[in-house]
Amino acid sequence: MRTQVAIIGGGPSGLLLSQLLMKAGISTVVLERKSRDYVLSRIRAGVLEQGMADLLREAGVAERMEREGHVHDGTNLSTAHGMFRVNFKERVGKSVIVYGQTEVTQDLYEAQDALGATIVHEADNVALHDVTTDKPYVTYEKDGQTHRLDCDYIAGCDGFHGVSRPTIPADKRQEFERVYPFGWLGILSRTKPAAEELIYANHPRGFALASMRSDTLSRYYVQVPLTDKVEQWSDQAFWDELRRRLPDEVSQTMETGPSIEKSIAPLRSFVNEPMQWGRLFLVGDAAHIVPPTGAKGLNLAASDVHYLLEALKAAILDKDAGALDQYGPRALTRIWAAMRFSWWMTTLMHRFPDQTDFDQKIQEAELHQLETMESAQITMARNYVGLPY
């Protein structure tokens, strides 16, 4: 096969990039290691920044999001002294939309099918070749056969463990990382959400988050040590711990039920530079990981898609090859801003293993400023709803 842009990875960033490129008249082929059913079974983020929502509208895949998504004009923060709300709409005139990543991926698959997109699932042993030349190509195995895909450019949308980032020589890569000394134990349950908007809780026992996917599907998290195993936590033990960490007025009325998914996710911040190597461009988790505290993972992938789309359109349609060199620097400026916000939210809301009473008081003082100072709320709101592209 031959195409203009080979896209490695059939998650939401790869599918969104393919959809937008195809709508611009640029041909793509998407290679995905897993089956479509597997991709659609992954439970991931659910808070969409306004910029990502607008990108989905541009891609022509926003109809169900507009119908079923929940617009949130603010969020709640809980402390030892009570709960308060930061009003995004009032502070910065923008909102976020709660709409699950699985739903976004489903919508993108349907839109890609309607355009007749080429998506190769269960493509094994993908390898990238000659990426620093003007004739890169990709090889992969499917049904026992080796295939070759010739292309002009390669977009590495294949996640942290994919083949794209390691294609850049190790001595040419710089990796920045912070690993946090705890994880999030999360469950998904068919229960009514505990509140109309998200609740981020700072508690002496550890962080908790009350989130949602829909009116009948809730997502909850509690901070746990990295040594904990999912098997140690029964549903009842989880609900009991969550209630301890949430405000009384919430925990007393919260609906509970059997979990339909339960997992522990470690937290870390990670950035790889550069994001371009020859004609290979890294997108999303292939280039960066953020702790989920600030709801930035999927949204950062979307902003990468935006910048790469602009660069590829300029290079292919306008014959402006120099535009490609701007992709990494433009994307990284926004990535580091989001990295800072996610780090700030994480350090503000969690209980660290070596945290002293003094440290706890500093957290509480900062939360008090956030509760009482309009300027602090504006800064948080501007970052939470998403910095402009």
Q: Which of these is catalytic: 99, 200, 220, 327? A: 200
Q: Note if 274 is an active site residue.
A: no
Question: Residue 279: in which H helix or E strand, if any?
Answer: none
DSSP sequence for 204-215: TT--EEEEESSS
Q: Cα–Cα–Cα angle for 86, 199, 230, nearest 5°?
A: 150
Q: Note if 292 is an active site residue.
A: yes
Question: Residue 183: in which H helix or E strand, if any?
Answer: strand 174-189
Residues in the chain: 389
Nearest to 205 by CA among 249, 235, 241: 241
Please say whether the beta carbons of 33 and 123 come within 8 A.
yes
3-state helix, strand, coil in the chain (%, to 5): 40, 30, 30
Q: Which of these is catalytic: 99, 140, 327, 384? A: 384
What value does the CA radius of gyration of the chain take, rounded to a whole number of Å?
21
Q: Note if 225 is an active site residue.
A: no
Distance (Å, whole) CA 360 – CA 341: 19
Please say whether the beta carbons of 65 and 71 come within 8 A.
no
Q: Which of these is catalytic: 70, 296, 306, 350? A: 296
Q: Note if 384 is an active site residue.
A: yes
User: In what side-by-side order are the strands of the sheet with 145-150?
Assistant: 124-129, 137-142, 145-150
Q: Which of these is catalytic: 12, 136, 247, 292? A: 292
Q: Note if 140 is an active site residue.
A: no
Q: Which of these is catalytic: 72, 203, 288, 350? A: 72
Cis peptide before 266, with omega less than 30 degrees from 0? no
Active site positions, annotated: 72, 200, 292, 296, 384
